[in-house]
């Protein structure tokens, strides 16, 4: 009877420690590899750097387009040049223009 009690106590303490070791291993594994772990953190930082670089490129492109739009002021721009640019952009021709079509 005493042997079974000691064995049961030893088994319950061993099972408790084994359970705690398993739980600790689970949390350590998720802290390293999980969705919010160290590996994912490095990937997120790399993605942030890539997106910031892309954002900077878009800002530069936006500034260039803004400069071009501000350069076409109706008060200061040559009307003929502006008309030509608009027709070229819209792929239109005036009825008095001579259009020569060239094959492929």
Q: With 70 as the cut, is the pLDDT of residue 100 above it?
A: yes
Whole-number percent of the chain with pLDDT over 90: 47
> Comparing 4 with 25, which gets the higher pLDDT?
25
**Sequence ranges of the domains in the chain:** 2-90
Residue 37: CB atoms within 10 Å: 15
> Comparing 57 with 79, which gets the higher pLDDT?
57
> Comparing 2 with 63, which gets the higher pLDDT?
63
Report the pLDDT value the prediction gives residue 31, as an integer from 0 to 100: 92
Is this prediction's pTM over 0.85?
no
Q: How far apart, in Å, are the Cα atoms of 24 and each of 7, 15, 20, 32, 95?
A: 25, 14, 6, 12, 82
What lies within 8 Å, CB to CB, of 93 at 6+ separation is: 87, 99
Whether residue 93 contacts residue 99, with contact meaning beta carbons closer than 8 Å, is answered with yes
Report the pLDDT value the prediction gives residue 73, as an integer from 0 to 100: 65
Report the pLDDT value the prediction gives residue 76, as an integer from 0 to 100: 65
């Amino acid at each position: 009877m005493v042997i079974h009690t000691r064995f049961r106590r030893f088994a319950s303490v061993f099972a408790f420690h084994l359970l705690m070791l398993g739980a600790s291993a689970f949390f350590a594994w998720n802290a390293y590899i999980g969705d919010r772990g160290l590996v994912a953190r490095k990937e997120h930082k790399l993605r942030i750097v890539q997106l910031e670089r892309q954002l900077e490129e878009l800002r530069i492109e936006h500034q260039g387009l803004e400069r071009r739009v501000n350069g076409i002021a109706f008060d200061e721009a040559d009307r003929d040049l502006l008309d030509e640019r608009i027709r070229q952009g819209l792929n239109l021709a005036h009825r008095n223009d001579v259009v020569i079509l060239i094959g492929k």
